[in-house]
A and B are shown apart, each in its own frame.
Chain A
Amino acid sequence: MGVMPCLDDPDAALMTRVKQGDTVAFAELVEKYQQRIANFIYRTLPDAAEAEDLTQVVFVQVWKSADRYRVEAKFSTWLFTIARNLCLNEIRRRSRHPADSLDEATAEGDDHPGRQVPDRESVGSPELLLRNELQDKVQEVLNTLPDQQRTALILFKEDDMSYEAIAEVLGCSLSATKSLIHRARETLKLKIKPYLRTGEWGN
């Protein structure tokens, strides 16, 4: 079937190579998208360790399903759809088995060398502590948003995705997507109003 690749998407060309088993092209895609996917997952499931594990699962899924990728589709849309579905599965799994973590679920056969995590910024000053606390609070409020609203806002903010692409990931219309982003912002504003007005978190 003669299908034209997505001309304005260089990733589609890389995926064409990945379909043929090219690991160099695959590594290029992993390098390009790992941080965005990890952030997306981290905003959805705020757990840094599991965010990394799940990010890895996303890319393994990309590799395994490369043959199902249609080159006329935008790669990032396909990738974030996979990431979102895995997040939803993980949320469902957690609700069924609240005590389990993904680490435990994937512990078997984990013969990889240890991760090399870079040193994190040490936080000591009151300003930094306050900032971290505030960030935790915003993340907490973000987690209370309905899934569709949160995902729409994250994709818009973190990933510079067009409304059309977000609509495709969420499987809804363009106007519904705009409405989801707007409602997410309204809910956030309402819930963090104390900070917005005073500059400090009021308990």
Chain B
Amino acid sequence: MNGAEINDLAIKSLREPLSPEDEKRLEIWLRANPTHAAQWDDEQRLNQLLNDLPSVQLSSNFTSLVLRTIQNEPRSKGTSTWFTLFLAAKRDWLRPLAAGVGVALVVLVVYRQQTHWQRVEWVESLKLASGVATALQANPVGATPTVELLEDFDAIRRLSTVTSEPDLTLLAVLE
């Protein structure tokens, strides 16, 4: 036996008498470690003090008082909504699953919103660029690109990546 086991025995003996086996082991241990006898006595006295603590005396009609009180108390309604089920599912699979679905939904909404705004910006840039291109075609010398277009590097970069294939297709259709 070691110190931890003695502690366990002391705690165990707080609410039930030690088994004959435990008593025997303890006796052997105390014989081998007589200096710990006083420590064990302290444990036993502490247990005695705790066990001697008085119980609170309740009214003899306590149950009827409670029953009378509950007659006037409204009860919470049954918990059948998904939200309350989610709250109740402390250790079930439902809570992590619901949390995962929630996170996925948030990510999806954010992604869609971001894609939408990217498209809007792209369309605006292309409109600006096409306006300048039209002006240059009408008056190649006088029409100069606006400052906004020159500042809009993204639009210029995108123009260089557009292939001529859609234009050629369109021409073929027109012809």
Q: Which chain A residues lie closer than 8 Å to B42 at the CB level? A: 189, 193, 196-197
The 8 A CB mask of B58-69 against A (1 = contact, 0 = none) is: 111111011111
Of listed A63, A66, A160, residue having the most chain B CB within 10 A: A63
Indicate whether A120 reaches chain B with its CB closer than 8 angstroms: yes
Distance A195 CA – B41 CA, assembled complex (angstroms): 12
Check A23 against B70 for contact (C-beta < 8 Å).
Answer: yes
The 8 A CB mask of B67-84 against A (1 = contact, 0 = none) is: 111100111111100000
Given A56-B62, A67-B76, A120-B57, also A157-B69 (CB < 8 A): no
Pairs of residues from A and B, 10 with the lowest C-beta to C-beta distance, nearest first: A115-B59, A42-B56, A63-B70, A116-B60, A196-B42, A38-B56, A59-B66, A67-B78, A51-B56, A196-B45
Q: Which residue of A lies closest to B70 (CB)?
A: A63
Check A26 against B67 for contact (C-beta < 8 Å).
Answer: yes
User: Could you list some 7 contacts between A and B, CB below 8 A?
Assistant: A34-B62, A38-B58, A60-B66, A67-B79, A112-B69, A138-B49, A197-B42
> Which residue from A26, A115, A188 sits with its C-beta under 8 Å from B61?
A115
Q: Which residue of A lies closest to B59 (CB)?
A: A115
Given A52-B58, A65-B76, A188-B46, also A181-B67 (CB < 8 A): no
Q: Which chain A residues lie closer than 8 Å to B69 at the CB level? A: 56, 60, 112
Of listed A41, A112, A197, residue having the most chain B CB within 10 A: A112
Check B73 against A27 for contact (C-beta < 8 Å).
Answer: no
Q: Interface residue tally of chain B, by bracket?
A: 35 or more
Check B58 against A34 for contact (C-beta < 8 Å).
Answer: yes
Q: Which chain A residues lie closer than 8 Å to B85 at the CB level? A: 1
The 8 A CB mask of A112-123 against B (1 = contact, 0 = none) is: 110111101000
Extra pairs beyond A51-B56, A112-B69 (12, CB < 8 Å): A26-B67, A30-B63, A31-B63, A38-B55, A56-B62, A64-B75, A112-B65, A156-B15, A157-B15, A160-B15, A195-B49, A197-B42
Q: Which residue of A lies closest to B11 (CB)?
A: A181
Check B65 against A138 for contact (C-beta < 8 Å).
Answer: no
Given A63-B70, A64-B74, A64-B75, also A48-B56 (CB < 8 A): yes
Distance A134 CA – B84 CA, assembled complex (angstroms): 49
Given A67-B77, A70-B88, A156-B11, also A26-B53 (CB < 8 A): no
Interface residues in B6-46 by Cβ distance below 8 A to A read: 7, 10-11, 14-15, 41-43, 45-46
Check A27 against B67 for contact (C-beta < 8 Å).
Answer: yes
Distance A48 CA – B74 CA, assembled complex (angstroms): 28
Q: Which chain A residues lie closer than 8 Å to B78 at the CB level? A: 67
Indicate whether A84 reaches chain B with its CB closer than 8 angstroms: no
Given A64-B73, A157-B15, also A182-B7 (CB < 8 A): yes
Distance A142 CA – B75 CA, assembled complex (angstroms): 36
